Amino acid sequence: MAASNVVKILSDLVSRPSVNPMGRSVPHESPFFEGRVSDYLESFFRSLDVPFERRTISPGRDNLIAKFEPSDARHTLLWDAHQDTVPTEGMVIDPFRPSVEGGRVYGRGSCDVKGGMAAMLSAFARLVNNRPKGAARVILACTVDEEYTHTGSSALASQGLEVDLAIVAEPTMLEVVTAHKGAVRWKVLTEGVACHSSRPRDGINAIYRMAHVLTAIQNYSECLQESTPDPLLGPPTLSVGRIEGGQSVNVVPDTCSIDLDRRVIPGEDVDGVRQALRDALHQALGDSIPFAFSEPWVRMPSLGPDRASSWVEPVREAIGTVLGQRPSISAVPYGTDAGPLSASGIPSLVLGPGDIAQAHTKDEWIAVDQLEQAVEVYYAIACHLGREGLTNAH
């Protein structure tokens, strides 16, 4: 399959909505959930006549895992790309009607990360059709729910796959990402006593209580910025992204909640960072402002550079055969499916077409030349890492 077909594959993917509801209660109908993309992928793999499986992760949400299995392979690569996209509110283009203009493909997910998936699918199909001598074995996993809770990649990581290296598709401009932050997300809750707003002293305002909590959290987050940084990723961070409380304007609210996003750096413990904030709030507020923590709905591990370090140069060398020079090595503040995969013991790198600045935007797009280069890059990696001197990569 020629690299130019990658635009057609991407257009097919974009035109099939797979919006992650991000925890909202929504019907299993368009545009939510990944089912339409999963159906497309199943047909794609059937057309190649390759072994694949479709694993249900939750109702209507299935991982697709296909295999290219040459008889002479010495190494096994895992390629991972997620099927879901962020929501479409605020977009100024039709999110599900892909268009190609000025060397760009527009549409929701074109950059994050259906472009990377299309490139992996195209390269995978070429491997199957050409069967280059000495190529690595490739497991292509198309996972669900990356944008919210990483249930797809966590399930994949728990399968115990025998893999030498995972490459996770994200928009890195084809640079090799060796490290990224992890994330923990949970709610902080305050309770009060409801009453009529004309007699506020008869009740206890949960939102006022939360205001004290928010001030303490802001102070704590500023202290985090001054804590010992990771040499590649900088300091950990904490952000409040959402607040909800009250029933109506004429009722003193008896509940209030906020959503926290705590970015963790390598070496930090997911549960430990929650306890550290709890201790800081108790120290700042004493017993005057009661609060509670929910259980986290995201526990995404960070990606450290050490586990995959021996694979970096062979990967850069393979990319250099396509681009004419070895790409840069970088670290990024956002999280990816490489976190759960690496935490399970699989050496993992992040590599894909597109610019992260275009991800999640109101006019999301990806450059066609990046897509076509990515096909060549993924194909070259499978060929190069399958036959070149990697005996010291373990």
For residue range 240-254, what is the model confidence (pLDDT) as tens digits? 999 999 999 999 999
184: β partners = 262, 299
pLDDT at residue 390, as a whole number: 47
Q: Which residues of the chain have pLDDT under 70?
A: 1-4, 387-394
Q: pLDDT (tens digit, 9 = 90+) per residue, 136-180?
A: 999 999 999 999 999 999 999 999 999 999 999 999 999 999 999
Residue type, 66: A
Q: For residue 226, with 0-12 CB atoms within 10 Å meaning exposed, 13-18 middle and 19 or more buried, which class applies? A: exposed
Could you tell me the domains of the chain?
3-179+302-387 (3.40.630.10), 182-300 (3.30.70.360)
pLDDT at residue 388, as a whole number: 55
How far apart, in whole angstroms, are the C-alpha atoms of residue 42 and residue 34?
12
Distance of CA 80 to the CA centre of its chain: 10
Which helix H or strand E contains 213, and what residues bound it? Answer: helix 206-225
Q: CB count, 10 Å around CB of 175?
A: 16
Q: pLDDT (tens digit, 9 = 90+) per residue, 255-274?
A: 999 999 999 999 998 889 99
How far apart, in whole angstroms, are the C-alpha atoms of residue 59 and residue 292?
30
According to DSSP, the β-strands at 365-367 and 104-106 are antiparallel
**Rounded to two decimals, what is the model's pTM?**
0.93
**DSSP state, residue 122:** H
